Amino acid sequence: DTEVTQTPKHLVMGMTNKKSLKCEQHMGHRAMYWYKQKAKKPPELMFVYSYEKLSINESVPSRFSPECPNSSLLNLHLHALQPEDSALYLCASSQQGPSSGERETQYFGPGTRLLVL
Answer yes or no whether residue 57 interacts with another protein by CB under 8 A.
no
Q: Residue 42 interacts with another protein (CB under 8 A)?
A: yes
Under rule CB under 8 A, residue 27 binds another protein: no
Could you say whether residue 110 binds another protein (CB under 8 A)? yes
Please select the residue that binds another protein; options are 56, 61, 97, 117, rule is CB under 8 A.
56
In sequence order, the 6+-apart residues with CB closer than 8 A to the CB of 43 are 35, 36, 37, 90
Q: Is the peptide bond before 8 cis (omega within 30 degrees of 0)?
A: yes
Piece in contact with another protein (CB under 8 A), picked from 13-21, 39-47, 60-68, 71-79: 39-47
Residues whose CB is less than 8 angstroms from the CB of residue 59 and which lie 6 or more positions away in sequence, other chains included: none
